[in-house]
Structure 1
Amino acid sequence: MTDDPTETLLDAALVHVAFDGWSDTTFRAAIEDSGVDPVVARGLFPRGAVDLSVAYHRRGDRIMRERLAASDLSNMRFRDKVAQAVRLRIEASEDREAVRRGTTLFALPPYAPEGAKLIWETADAIWSALGDTSRDINWYTKRATLAGVYSSTVLFWLGDDSVGAQATWDFLDRRIEDVMRIETAKAKVRENPLLKSVFALPNAVLSRVRAPARRQDVPGQSGPGPQV
């Protein structure tokens, strides 16, 4: 048990999510079970269970960063480091039904933009944890690509009944291999003199794109990096 009302409410809510989803019923039950003052609970989560679901997703990002920081990745290829980070993020979720219910919630039109933002945050958390320093167009392409890999792997994992979710990790390896093939093809295009001249203007425009600056006056944010 934690003294943090945010974590207390979230833990209490997870007991009910499998039955009632991320709903107002779950939010009310979490308040009753946790003993957190309803006014405090509403102040922390103005939209009730929707904000609880957001907190649950971000908890997974935090756990992933902690586990990744404690892992020895020194002998891994970079693609394997990315795969390990995605795997750690999925394993950090632990409660598959809570993820399933959250996926359903953020598929609804009013919450779909926020669902996309959360996936982008996860991709950014992984790249940042792996030491990505790109500040140009690559900052966006790396995160967009990884967001696609992560979201498709989560959907596969939700339906995976293999031992130890091995089918999911095999699926993840295939998706990353696909990305590596695309990157190899892009490199060949850049090295081709004829294509290089064709794409000279678009490349000149894209070279001016920069990653968003992270604000330094926001609690909990430090060092260079994007604010998403």
Structure 2
Amino acid sequence: MKILAASLKYVYDLGWSQQAISAGAESIGYPGIIHGLFPNRGADLVHYFYLTCNKELNKILEEQALAVEQSPTKKKKTLELQVRDAVETRLRMVIPYKKTWPQALALMALPPNVPLSLANLLTLVDDICYYAGDKSVDMNWYTRRIVLAGIYKTTELYMLQDNSEDHRKTWNFLERRIKDATQVHTILTTTSDMALPDLNRATETASAVFVTARNILGLNWNR
């Protein structure tokens, strides 16, 4: 992992590539040929970056949740605002690599890399929802996470084309998508007449999907 960490600074010029890994290895005293330890080449580097950013966000959200618990009189953010801030925080981690990020997205869209890419995304949105207070496993639990995954990806793509100062247009876009999703969710949950057996099967499927995602990444499911 030290090699991949050292390789990130070379992504700016060399992209998410075997060459970046070789340069990173050499910068900390390893022979460049050691890139052979990473058979998926650039995809391994993208996965490392994504996993590292997810862990960093998880740490931030955990610290924020703990601070709220320790200050019960402090005004708490709404769920929507917590989600918005978390998504913005996570996307800001991509901004330094924005120039080469389309290459990273293309790599992770290749069939062999899709399971890891999807697992990273599902784990990300589950962590955001969990620390925003959405912990009960029901149909709404599932729906919110899938919708949030869509919001994250569309905002990520919007950001790549955004040249506004501090990506202000991106954060406005994100806020609008969350408001739209909240309105749609309210309509669906107040008009749904789904039969209970179907609801039970749906929630079981939801749990299986997110457990599988964490298993792929080698993470514990401790919800």
Which category describes the TM-score, using the shorter chain as reference length? 0.7 to 0.9
- Per-residue deviation, 1:101: 2.6
Q: Please, which of 36, 49, 52 is the counterpart of residue 56 of structure 1?
A: 49
Unaligned runs of 5+ in 2: 69-74
- Per-residue deviation, 1:35: 1.9
Q: Please, which of 123, 127, 130 is the counterpart of residue 128 of structure 1?
A: 130
Residue-by-residue CA offset, 1:84-131 (whole Å, 9 max, x unaligned):
110111123342235333112123343234323322221122123324
Give the conservation status (yes or no) of the 8 Å contact 2:18–2:35: no
Q: What is the one-letter code of the residue matched to 2:24? A: A
Rounded Cα–Cα distance in structure 2 between residues aligned with 1:78 and 1:205: 27
Q: What is the one-letter code of the residue matched to 2:14? A: D
Q: What is the one-letter code of the residue matched to 2:21? A: F
**1:193 corresponds to which residue?**
none
Q: What is the one-letter code of the residue matched to 2:28? A: S
CA gap of 1:94–1:146, structure 2 versus 1, over 3 A, is: same
**2:222 corresponds to which residue?**
224
Residues 131-150 of structure 1: pairs in structure 2 closer than 5 A: 131-150=133-152
Q: Percent identity?
A: 28
Rounded Cα–Cα distance in structure 1 between residues aligned with 2:211 and 2:108: 26
Q: What is the one-letter code of the residue matched to 1:92? A: M
Give the conservation status (yes or no) of the 8 Å contact 1:93–1:99: yes
TM-score (norm: length of structure 2): 0.78
| Matched pairs, number | 208
**2:163 corresponds to which residue?**
161
1:92 aligns with 2:93: yes
Give the conservation status (yes or no) of the 8 Å contact 1:153–1:172: yes
TM-score (norm: length of structure 1): 0.77
Residue-by-residue CA offset, 1:43-96 (whole Å, 9 max, x unaligned):
5x4433321210100111112122233446743111111101101111233422
Larger helix fraction of residues: 2
| Pairwise CA RMSD | 3.0
Rounded Cα–Cα distance in structure 2 between residues aligned with 1:176 and 1:168: 12
Q: Please, which of 11, 15, 35 is the counterpart of residue 21 of structure 1?
A: 15
Unaligned runs of 5+ in 1: 1-5, 191-195
Residue-by-residue CA offset, 1:180-217 (whole Å, 9 max, x unaligned):
11111113313xxxxx3xx43xx4222233213859x9
CA gap of 1:26–1:186, structure 2 versus 1, over 3 A, is: same
Q: Secondary structure at the match of 1:134?
A: coil
1:34 aligns with 2:28: yes
Rounded Cα–Cα distance in structure 2 between residues aligned with 1:156 and 1:223: 32
Q: What is the one-letter code of the residue matched to 2:47? A: V
**1:181 corresponds to which residue?**
183
Q: Secondary structure at the match of 2:137?
A: coil
1:68 aligns with 2:61: yes
Q: Secondary structure at the match of 2:93?
A: helix
Structure with greater Cα Rg: 1
